[in-house]
Every structure is written in structure tokens, then in C-alpha cells.
């Protein structure tokens, strides 16, 4: 148990800058002489570009450049993030005549103003040879591959334990045993952070006679990949590229890699000799970046008559693109939610004609938990058991897949505490048995979730000033999860100094190498890195290993102007080569299987739905969520993050679906009007709580990830609550009011 | 083998539109300062604020009136500045997020309440939420939680900070009533 005293729950350290609008995001940059860019995009989904007429666009007064094609010596692919490269996909627009997906950029126009650039982009005329494509999982021409064969890497192998098929077959004939066999569909969804994708690119002379320096201002979760990726694409040294991204206006996985527009804007800026800004319009974002791929998940789950789970098979078909294999790891969590001794997972990938899908908050875990936790609810109903009791009875301390212990698992406590806070004991089990005073049908549902406990190599620097102030830098990104706040709290608590004396800095490749911040490992990597740096700092300051430090006096005693130290943290058991990957801007997370233990974050969600009597609108007046994310590094921001995850789950369960045109491809509802996300009026009371017990093994601070697990299971709890209210089971998201009429 | 279909995908017009050389002279006040500009009449108030006046606190989340990130006050009323042609601001007084704190930098009560209730995460929607929150209270639309939620629903928050936003706005509304 950690014994140090943290400062009281402080406010978010950048809250003031956020409420005053002074915090700067990537495209807030307005350098002198800047020009504006706009994209022209493909209006067919597959085929070949046979002619591009840019005459009218180029003739428009105010247009400086119409970029339609970059030669190979000017622009190459930045590679695919999951294939040794940097991009969300390997396919780079404007390098050839192939059209791989609707909405693919075919030209970039640069003009004096945004309006001229936009008008000119609309004047770009293209002719295509169009080919039929496959756009859905079932379309003719959609090619299904077994992932473990297509990507023969251990991390993407199928999860297998015991003999699931044998036990399932036996259970089907055993009296008293119950087998659930169901298919769950999840649509494609788009991350839609409020900040649009965009780039401001500026070149300047290095003054050293060498190549010019490119500065990229861009909201990204992966400044290292943007730096090294753009350098690769343009054929320049990575130390000639600076990426500045101190604040990201929401990432949610969309901004976790190199986007296709960044190099295009950089080339345009170089050609016109002036800074260029491109903000990708919302409608184009639906095709110009990744998305959560559509999945179909087949679950078979067997239990004996007492409710002991005996075996499960989880088979997943996940959409990918023609040009990349975006792997799925849905079964990583469904094999761990319970102590099921016999388990078999199968991941298949289905090639369709889209941009490459990618990560979106809880990228696999959200849909996997929706499917599996719906099946568990079906099992509870079939057994006539209480869904909380059934889950508690199948708890485990040991990872059923590896046989190793979980470093910490307080899921049962999450369930018990959540049930207590929610008032679960007052639930009457019969579906449709609860009514509100206004006649609304009331349903109470529960579901659990987990998320792999990963950690990534992270660089940190701490600098102590003679004034007593301390500056702390980390090679990670702040996208609202509260990283800066957790950094400040960690330094202040360790040194026993006021939080106001600590200045945090993130998102700047000029300072430190930056690792991708995703998978909830941002804080779980940054804080241990800071802890290591603080230990170094204490050595350099010649102060004891623990206890409060008079920083000003200690710096003065060294006789130096300031004392600066650096440290790099790696996940448990990671080989030193991961540092090379960190320095090359490549992802190198470790986990959830660490040497001798397995780490997951855990959560339980309790949801009340009310289905209004006249128009059958599905409302969610209250949710109780209890999470085990190890020690809570920053209570204020952690609470907000958990509530935000719940909002995401409600939104995914009841609102969000990226509609695909099965004939012509592309996403039809490509705007925030037609792609509804939860609004304020959709959200009721969200009561959150934390176990707040440090994980004893993952890192010295005892912190595990929170951002993703917070969403996992919410959609299942909503669907289970809808079943409780109506007696009807919905195995496809989102659930709409017309479903419950 | 797929049969190639020859498609002619033509933009809206076949002939280039006449060059847009017309600019319009516009004068208005922004955060108590006079501003005079020659504008392309197509320019939105949002783009003028961000790109010409470098008041980048006001955000663009959609450019189509769907998200509220660009909310500012024009003569005290909240508007989405992306759907407000800048020429329409002629003669008006515009207030942006940069203009709501006091002269000494003391936060507006709604700003302070957002800090106190942690009504934000990434902060990108926050300027628009604050501007909407102030107006919502002035309009008398923050009388109870349900009403506040309804009247703040034009401002999307993808981080899901809604519970904090409602709590912040309601706290100020209650205080200003009492
Ligand atoms: S930018 Fe104006 S409403 Fe979204
Ligand atoms: S705080 Fe991130 S969108 Fe609202």
C-alpha cells in the first residue's frame, strides 16, 4: 500500500485555460502569411482516376496551388501503424490513380482564404473508371480471412483454453445445463472528437546550411508518429520535423496515428513557400480518418444448472479495408471476464472497400462486452438467477487463459458496491414488472467490463529551478484525460511542494521522444516515468529518497542554475529494444500479460432505462458505475473520465451508427446532424465510485488505465435494462425507439 | 473482372463561376473593441474571429450549426457564429469567450463554476458551453436540471462532461435567483 500523502483533490490544472479559451489547440495557430487549404475528394468508392481537370480551380483568383499528384520522390506512404509504419492506413492519397474508397482526397487546393480554397476544390473535375465494391460484411466480394493465418503474430493469435467445443457439445445434451447461442451485430461508428482533424505546416530555414525545418501544429495522440511518419513520407531526417500538439480536442483513437493530410499540407506549404492550414471539414472526416469497424459476434456459452460457466466460444467477424488488415482482439477480454475453464476465440477479418478502420475508444472491448454481457444476461434469465449473483459466482483470481494470477482484480467488489449504491435489491426480476408513476416501463440492467492493463515506454524530464519551481515534461499527450493534472499531483505529492509550483508540459517532440498515447496507458506510463525522474532528481539534489524537499535550497546548494534530469520508463519485463521503437515513433506497449502476472482494469455498470409510455423514447435517467483502475491518480479528472465513458456507452447503445450505402459505398450520415451523439438532454444522473486500491505489480504508483474501461460494458447494461423493461432482447446496436414500440 | 463503368463526375458547375472580387466593408464591436474589416461576404463570423482577429478561443467543430462549439453572443444573444455571416455583425456588439472574464482576469461566475464542477475534459467544446451557459441563465432557461439540459443540448460535448456542465450552470442560476 502506498503511504505517501497526496494533496487534496485539486482542480484540473488546465481548467482555467480551458474556460477562458486561452488554451491553444493545433489549428488555432495563425502564423503570418498563412494560406488556407481545402480538399477535393473522390465521388466513387472504387476504381481509377482517369482524368482530373483543375483548370477552373486554378483560374480562380486567390488560388495559389492545386496539388493533384505528388511524385514518388516527393511523397511516399507513411506505412500502416500495425504494419511497422505510422499511418492509420498504408494507402496514401495523391500518389497514384487508384481510388480505394469514397471520399478519398484527389486534390488539395491552397488559396488566400478558406472560402476561395473551398470554392476552388468544388471546381476540380474528375473522371473515373468505376468498379463495383463490397461495403458490408455480407456483400459479395467481401473477403473473409482468418486473422491468425493472415497475421501470424503471437499477439493476434486466437485465444484458446481447454476444450470449449467438446464441453459445449456435451452440455447441449446434459439435463439441467443451459447453452446460450446468439449472434450480436455492431455497426461501424466514428469517433468524432469535437476538434476536427487538421494541420498547420510551416517551413523555416535551420540556419545551419542543412535542410529546412518543418513544424507541424496538429492535434494528435501520437506526435512521434507524425514526426517520423512525415519525415519518412517526405524523405527528410526526423530531426528536421517538429510536431507541436500540447492540447488535443479529443482523440478517442482517431488521432492515434499519421493522417493522410499532414504530408500533403507540408508539401503544399513547401511549394508555395508560406505556412498552410487545412482543417478537414466534418463531412470529410468521416472518410479521411479511421472509424470503429462493423462487427458480427457469435457467442456460445454453456453453464451447469447451478450457474457455473463451463465453456464459451466467441467468434468475431470484423471489417477491414482492402489495403490493410486491421486486427481485432475482442476475445482478449471475453476470455477473462469470468473463470471459464474452456474457451475458444476466433477472429476473422473481412476486407471491404473503405478507408482502413481503426481504434475508437475501447475499440474491441466495447462491442465484445456488449455481445458477451448480453449473452450472460440471457444465461441469467434462462437459469432464473439474479444477474449480479451469477456474475459473482463466476469470479476468478486467476487468469483462465494463461493460468497466471491477475495482479489485481476487484471486480466482485465493483459489483457489490455498485449493487448497493444502485439499490439493486429492489429490482423485481420479471421483465416488464417495473413501472414508473408516469407509466414508463422501467428496466434495470447490469454488465461488467475489463480492459487490458498495458504500459508503454515513456520519457520524462524534471527540472528544478532556483525559485523552487519544478517543470515536468513527458513524451505523452493531453487529450482531456487529465494527464497534466495527474503529472502535477504526482510531482507535488512526491516533493511535498504546492501544486502551483509545478508546471507540466506535454505534446512537443522538440522536448522528448513521444510515444502514442492510447489504450489507457498514457497516465499509467507517464506517472511511473515521472517517479523514476523524481528519484533521479533527489539523487542530483542530494536529498533523501523520501520526504518533503526544499527545492529552492536544494538547487542553491548544488551551485547550479537549475537541476534537470531525465528518465525513461518501460513496462514490466520489456526488452531495451522498445526504447529504439520509442525513439523511432513506433508503438511499443507491453501487456496485459506481464512476466508472472496479468493485468486488467475492471468495471461494473448498473443502468436504469425508462421507456416512455406514449412515444416509447428510451431514456437513461441514472447509471451507477464502479471501477477498479488501481490507485486513483487524480480523483477529480478520474471521476469525469468515468462519467465520460458512461456517456459514450449510452451514446453507442442508443444513438450511434455510421450508415453505409451498400450500393455505392461511403458513409451516408457524414455530419453531426445525421450521426447523432448523446446530447446533454440524453444524459441523466451518473454516480461513479472507485475501488482505489493500488495494483501491487504493474508499476510503483499502483495505477492502471481508466479511459477505456470506463466505457466497456455500458452498452451491454443498457441492452440488458431494455430487456428487463420490455422482455425483448436486442442483439443489434443501436437500439432505437421504433424497436421497442 | 468488373466491367469498368465510365462515370463523369462533374462538379456543380461546368463553367467557372465569375471571380469573386467583391468585398464588403464591415464594422462592429468585439469584446468592447471596434473592428473594421473588408470581407468576402461569404465569410462566417466564426472564420473572421478565428482567422482574421486571431480570437481562437471560439472553436469550429462542424461549421454547420450542429455542435455549438462556435457559440458567441451577438448583442447579448447566443448564436452559432459558423452560421452567422460576418457581414451580418455590422453594427452589433459581439462577445466571445475572450471577453467574458473581468478586467482583472477574474473569471465570470459561469467560468468559475465550470472549473469548480470539472465541467470539461479536453476543453474543446468548453468556450461554446460557457457562452451558452451564460445565455441560458440570462434567458431564464436554467430553472431546473431538466430545463437546463434541454436548453444546453445545442452544445455537444464528445468527452461527455454533461453532468458537470449542468451542475455548473445550475449552481450559478440558483445563486443569481437567490
Ligand atoms: S462550428 Fe458552429 S455549430 Fe459547430
Ligand atoms: S470537453 Fe471535450 S468535447 Fe467537451
pLDDT 10s digits, A184-221: 999 999 999 999 999 999 999 988 888 899 999 999 99
Tell me the three state secondary structure of residue A398.
Answer: strand
End-to-end alpha carbon distance in chain B:
75
Residues of chain A in contact with residue B125, where contact means CB-CB under 8 angstroms, are 194
Average pLDDT over residues A696-706: 92
**B102 min Cα distance to partner chain A (Å):** 11
Confidence band, pLDDT 50/70/90 cuts, at residue A633: confident
Query: CA dist A708 to A136, A331, A644, A705, B100, Å?
Result: 27, 16, 10, 7, 35
Question: Would you call A115 and B19 a contact, using CB atoms and an 8 Å cutoff?
Answer: no
Q: Which residue of B has its CA nearest to A194?
A: B61
Find out whether B136 and B148 touch, Cβ atoms under 8 Å.
yes
CB contact under 8 A, B63 and A60: no
- Among protein residues, the one with the nearest Cα to ligand 2's atom 4 is B157
- ipTM confidence: 0.96
Q: Which of A325-329, A455-459, B20-24 has the lowest mean pLDDT?
A: B20-24
* Architecture category of domain B109-177 in CATH: Orthogonal Bundle (1.10)
B91 to chain A nearest CA, in Å?
Answer: 23
For residue A267, pLDDT beyond 90: yes
Give the model's pLDDT for residue A519.
Answer: 77
The per-residue pLDDT for A9 is 55
Query: Which residues in chain A are contacts of B130 at CB distance < 8 A?
Result: 19
Distance CA A30, CA A114 (A): 13
Q: Give the Å distance between the CA of B123 and the centre of ligand 1.
A: 15
Per-residue model confidence as pLDDT tens digits over B98-114: 999 999 999 999 999 99
> Which residues on chain A are in Cβ contact (under 8 Å) with B132?
none
pLDDT at A3: 33
What mean pLDDT is predicted for residues A246-274? Answer: 97
Say if residue A586's pLDDT is above 80.
yes
Considering chain A, what is the average pLDDT of its residues? 96
Interchain CB contact of A9 with B (< 8 Å):
no
pLDDT tens readout for residues A338-391: 999 999 999 999 999 999 999 999 999 999 999 999 999 999 999 999 999 999
B chain contacts of residue A125, beta-carbon cutoff 8 Å: 9-11
Instruction: Indicate whether A229 pLDDT > 50.
Output: yes
The C-alpha cell that represents A506 in the structure block: 506535454
A110 pairs with which residues across the strands? A37, A65
| Nearest by CB: A23 against B16, B64, B123 | B123
Q: Taking the CA atoms of chain A, what radius of gyration do you get in angstroms? A: 26
Q: What angle, rounded to 10 degrees, do the helices at A635-654 and A714-726 form?
A: 50
The whole model's pTM is what?
Answer: 0.95
Where in chain B is CATH 1.10.150.120? 109-177
Other CB atoms within 10 A of residue B107 CB: 19
A282 sits in which H/E element: helix A282-288
CA distance B78 to chain A (A): 17
Structural domains in chain A, CATH included, are 15-23+454-579 (3.30.365.10), 31-131+194-250+255-288 (3.90.1170.50), 143-190+292-453+596-739 (3.30.365.10)
The answer to whether A642 contacts chain B (CB < 8 Å) is no
Task: Provide the grid cell at A241.
Answer: 520535423
Confidence of residue A522 (pLDDT cuts 50, 70, 90): confident
Q: Judge whether B80 and B66 are in contact, CB under 8 Å.
A: no
CA of A195, closest atom in ligand 2: 3
Q: How far apart are CA B28 and CA B6, in angstroms?
A: 52
* A571: pLDDT strictly greater than 70: yes
- A460 pLDDT above the threshold of 80: yes
Inter-chain touch A679–B163, beta carbons under 8 Å: no
Q: Inspect the interface and report whether the beta carbons of B163 and A23 lie closer than 8 Å.
A: no
Nearest to A664, CA basis, from A287, A211, A260, A122:
A287
| Residue of chain B whose alpha carbon sits nearest to that of A59 | B16
Is pLDDT of A418 > 70?
yes
Distance from CA of A126 to the nearest CA of B (A): 6
pLDDT digits (tens, 9 = 90+) for A139-182: 999 999 999 999 999 999 999 999 999 999 999 999 999 999 99
Inter-chain touch A131–B158, beta carbons under 8 Å = no
Q: Looking at residue B5, what is its pLDDT?
A: 42
The ligand placed nearest to the CA atom of residue A14 is 2
Report CA(B154)–ligand 1 centroid distance (Å). 10
Cβ contact, residue pair A249, B124, below 8 Å: yes
Q: Which atom of ligand 2 is nearest to the CA of A250?
A: 2
Position A6 scores a pLDDT of 40
Q: Is the pLDDT of residue B155 over 60?
A: yes
> Between chains, do A21 and B122 touch, taking CB under 8 Å as contact?
no
Distance B58 CA to ligand 1 centre (A): 10
Using CB atoms, which residue from B64, B118, B158 is nearest to A640? B118
pLDDT the model gives residue A524: 81
Average pLDDT over residues A12-38: 97
Residues of A in contact with B20 (CB under 8 A): 61, 116, 119
* Residue with CA at minimum distance from ligand 1 atom 3: B65
**Looking up cell 513544424, which residue turns up?**
A215
pLDDT of residue A130: 97
Q: How confident is the model at residue B178 (pLDDT cuts 50, 70, 90)?
A: low
Q: Does A18 touch chain B (CB under 8 A)?
A: yes
Instruction: Give the best residue of A15, A21, A522, A678 to mutate against chain B (max B CB count within 10 A).
Output: A21
Q: Identify all chain A residues contacting B47, using CB atoms and an 8 Å cutoff.
A: 114-115
pLDDT at B17 over 60: no
Residues with CB under 6 A from ligand 1: B 60-63, 65-70, 80, 82
Residues A563 and A463: beta-carbon distance below 8 Å: yes
How many inter-chain contacts (A to B, CB under 8 Å) are there? 231
User: Shortest CB distance from A30 goes to which of B21, B54, B101?
Assistant: B54
Q: Selecting from 3.40.50.720, 3.40.190.10, 3.10.20.600, 3.10.20.30, what CATH number does the domain B24-99 have?
A: 3.10.20.30
**Among A219, A216, A212, which residue's Cα sits nearest to residue A266?**
A216
Share of chain A above pLDDT 90, in %: 94
Residue-level pLDDT at B21: 58
Task: List, for residues A92-111, the tens digit of each pLDDT value.
Answer: 999 999 999 999 999 999 99
Chain B's closest residue to A192, CA to CA, is B158
Confidence of residue A8 (pLDDT cuts 50, 70, 90): very low
With 0-12 CB in 10 A as exposed, 13-18 as middle and 19+ as buried, what is A466? middle
The distance of A373 to chain B (nearest Cα, Å) reads: 23
Question: Which distant-in-sequence residues (6+ apart) come within 8 Å of A507 by Cβ?
Answer: A220, A223, A244, A245, A246, A247, A248, A476, A477, A478, A514
Task: Name every protein residue with a CB atom under 6 angstroms from any ligand 2 atom.
Answer: A 194, 250, 480; B 120-126, 157-159, 161
Where would I find the beta strands (DSSP E) of A170-255? Answer: 178-186, 198-204, 213-217, 241-244
- Reply yes or no on whether the pLDDT at B9 is more than 80: no
State residue A219's pLDDT score: 98
Q: Evaluate if residue A319 carries a pLDDT over 70.
A: yes
Task: Tell me what percent of the residues of chain A surpass a pLDDT of 70.
Answer: 99
**Highest mean pLDDT (candidates A61-75, A96-110, A630-644):** A96-110
Contact A107, A68 (CB under 8 A): yes
Alpha-carbon Rg of chain B, whole angstroms?
Answer: 20
Which residues of A are designated catalytic?
708
- Whether B156 sits inside 8 A of A481 (CB atoms) is no
Over residues B72-78, mean pLDDT: 98
- Alpha carbon distance B16, B18 (integer Å): 6
All 3 cell numbers of residue A707? 479511459
Taking CA atoms, what residue in A is nearest to B102? A20
Positions of CATH 3.10.20.30 in chain B: 24-99
Residue B78 predicted with pLDDT over 60: yes
Amino acid at each position: 500500500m502506498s503511504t505517501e500523502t497526496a494533496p487534496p483533490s485539486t482542480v484540473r490544472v488546465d481548467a482555467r485555460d480551458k474556460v477562458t479559451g486561452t488554451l491553444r489547440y493545433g489549428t488555432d495557430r495563425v502564423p503570418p502569411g498563412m494560406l488556407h487549404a481545402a480538399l477535393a475528394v473522390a465521388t466513387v468508392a472504387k476504381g481509377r482516376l482517369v482524368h482530373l481537370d483543375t483548370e477552373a480551380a486554378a483560374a480562380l483568383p486567390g488560388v495559389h496551388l492545386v496539388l493533384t499528384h505528388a511524385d514518388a520522390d516527393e511523397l511516399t506512404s507513411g506505412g500502416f501503424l500495425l504494419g511497422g509504419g505510422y499511418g492509420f492506413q498504408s494507402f496514401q492519397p495523391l500518389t497514384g490513380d487508384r481510388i480505394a474508397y469514397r471520399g478519398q482526397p484527389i486534390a488539395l487546393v491552397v488559396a488566400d482564404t478558406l472560402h476561395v480554397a473551398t470554392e476552388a476544390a468544388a471546381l476540380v473535375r474528375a473522371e473515373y473508371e468505376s468498379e463495383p465494391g463490397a461495403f458490408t460484411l455480407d456483400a459479395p466480394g467481401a473477403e473473409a480471412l482468418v486473422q491468425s493465418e493472415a497475421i501470424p503474430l503471437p499477439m493476434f493469435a486466437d485465444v484458446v483454453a481447454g476444450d470449449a467445443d467438446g464441453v459445449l457439445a456435451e452440455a447441449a445434451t446434459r439435463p439441467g445445463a443451459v447453452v446460450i447461442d446468439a449472434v450480436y451485430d455492431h455497426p461501424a461508428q466514428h469517433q468524432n472528437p469535437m476538434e476536427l482533424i487538421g494541420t498547420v505546416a510551416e517551413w523555416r530555414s535551420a540556419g545551419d546550411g542543412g535542410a529546412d525545418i518543418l513544424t507541424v501544429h496538429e492535434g494528435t495522440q501520437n506526435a512521434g508518429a507524425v514526426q517520423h511518419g512525415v519525415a519518412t513520407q517526405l524523405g527528410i531526417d526526423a530531426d528536421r520535423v517538429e510536431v507541436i500538439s500540447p492540447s488535443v480536442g479529443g482523440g478517442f483513437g482517431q488521432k492515434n496515428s499519421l493522417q493522410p493530410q499532414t504530408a500533403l499540407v507540408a508539401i503544399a506549404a513547401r511549394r508555395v513557400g508560406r505556412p498552410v492550414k487545412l482543417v478537414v471539414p466534418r463531412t470529410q472526416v468521416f472518410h479521411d480518418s479511421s472509424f470503429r469497424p462493423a462487427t458480427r459476434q457469435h457467442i456460445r456459452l454453456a453453464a451447469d444448472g447451478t450457474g457455473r460457466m463451463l465453456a464459451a466460444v466467441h467468434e468475431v467477424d470484423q471489417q477491414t479495408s482492402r489495403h490493410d488488415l486491421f486486427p481485432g482482439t475482442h476475445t482478449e477480454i471475453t476470455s477473462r471476464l469470468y473463470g471459464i475453464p474452456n474457451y475458444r476465440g476466433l477472429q476473422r477479418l473481412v476486407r471491404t472497400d473503405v478507408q482502413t478502420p481503426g481504434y475508437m475508444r475501447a475499440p474491441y472491448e466495447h462491442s465484445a462486452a456488449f455481445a458477451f454481457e448480453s449473452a450472460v444476461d440471457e444465461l441469467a434469465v434462462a437459469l432464473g438467477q439474479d444477474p449480479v449473483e451469477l456474475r459473482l459466482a463466476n469470479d476468478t483470481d486467476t487468469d483462465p487463459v494463461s493460468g497466471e494470477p491477475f495482479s489485481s482484480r476487484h471486480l466482485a467488489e465493483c459489483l457489490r458496491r455498485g449493487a448497493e449504491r444502485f439499490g439493486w435489491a429492489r429490482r423485481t426480476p420479471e421483465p416488464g414488472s417495473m413501472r414508473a408513476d408516469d407509466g414508463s416501463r422501467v428496466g434495470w440492467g447490469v454488465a461488467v467490463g475489463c480492459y487490458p492493463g498495458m504500459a508503454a515506454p515513456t520519457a520524462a524530464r524534471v527540472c528544478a529551478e532556483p525559485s523552487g519551481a519544478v517543470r515536468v515534461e513527458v513524451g505523452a499527450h493531453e487529450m482531456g484525460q487529465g494527464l497534466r493534472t495527474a503529472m502535477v499531483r504526482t510531482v507535488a505529492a512526491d516533493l511535498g511542494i504546492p501544486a502551483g509550483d509545478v508546471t507540466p508540459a506535454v505534446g512537443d517532440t522538440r522536448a522528448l521522444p513521444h510515444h502514442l498515447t492510447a489504450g489507457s496507458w498514457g497516465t499509467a506510463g507517464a506517472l511511473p516515468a515521472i517517479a523514476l525522474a523524481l528519484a533521479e532528481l533527489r539523487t542530483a539534489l542530494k536529498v533523501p529518497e523520501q520526504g518533503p524537499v526544499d527545492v529552492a535550497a536544494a538547487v542553491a546548494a548544488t551551485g547550479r542554475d537549475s537541476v534537470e534530469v531525465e528518465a525513461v520508463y518501460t513496462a514490466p519485463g520489456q526488452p531495451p529494444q522498445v526504447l529504439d521503437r520509442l525513439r523511432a515513433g513506433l508503438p511499443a506497449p507491453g501487456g496485459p500479460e506481464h512476466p508472472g502476472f496479468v493485468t486488467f482494469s475492471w468495471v461494473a455498470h448498473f443502468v436504469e432505462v425508462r421507456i416512455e409510455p406514449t412515444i416509447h423514447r428510451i431514456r437513461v435517467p441514472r447509471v451507477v458505475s464502479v471501477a477498479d483502475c488501481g490507485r486513483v491518480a487524480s480523483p477529480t479528472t478520474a471521476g469525469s473520465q468515468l462519467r465520460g465513458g458512461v456517456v459514450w456507452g449510452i451514446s453507442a447503445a442508443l444513438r450511434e451508427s455510421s450508415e453505409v450505402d451498400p450500393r455505392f459505398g461511403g458513409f451516408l450520415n457524414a455530419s453531426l446532424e445525421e450521426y447523432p451523439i448523446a446530447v446533454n438532454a440524453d444524459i441523466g444522473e451518473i454516480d461513479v465510485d472507485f475501488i482505489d486500491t493500488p495494483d501491487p505489480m504493474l508499476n510503483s504508483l499502483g495505477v492502471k488505465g481508466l479511459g477505456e474501461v470506463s466505457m466497456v460494458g455500458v452498452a451491454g447494461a443498457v441492452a440488458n435494462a431494455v430487456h428487463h423493461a420490455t422482455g425483448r432482447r436486442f442483439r443489434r446496436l443501436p437500439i432505437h425507439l421504433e424497436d421497442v414500440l | 473482372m468488373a466491367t469498368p463503368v465510365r462515370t463523369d463526375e462533374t462538379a456543380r458547375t461546368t463553367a467557372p463561376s465569375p471571380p469573386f472580387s467583391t468585398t464588403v466593408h464591415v464594422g462592429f464591436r468585439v469584446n468592447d473593441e471596434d473592428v473594421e474589416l473588408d470581407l468576402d461576404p461569404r465569410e462566417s463570423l466564426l472564420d473572421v474571429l478565428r482567422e482574421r482577429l486571431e480570437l481562437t478561443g471560439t472553436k469550429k467543430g462542424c461549421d454547420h450549426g450542429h455542435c455549438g462549439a462556435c457559440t458567441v453572443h451577438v448583442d447579448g444573444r447566443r448564436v452559432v457564429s459558423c452560421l452567422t455571416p460576418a457581414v451580418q455583425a455590422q453594427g452589433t456588439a459581439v462577445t466571445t469567450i475572450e471577453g467574458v472574464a473581468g478586467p482583472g482576469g477574474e473569471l465570470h461566475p459561469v467560468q468559475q463554476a465550470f472549473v469548480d464542477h470539472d465541467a470539461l475534459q479536453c476543453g474543446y467544446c468548453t468556450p461554446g458551453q460557457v457562452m451558452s451557459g451564460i445565455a441560458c441563465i440570462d434567458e431564464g432557461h436554467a430553472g431546473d436540471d431538466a430545463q437546463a439540459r434541454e436548453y444546453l443540448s445545442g452544445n455537444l460535448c464528445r468527452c461527455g462532461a454533461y453532468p458537470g456542465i449542468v451542475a455548473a450552470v445550475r449552481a450559478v442560476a440558483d445563486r443569481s435567483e437567490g
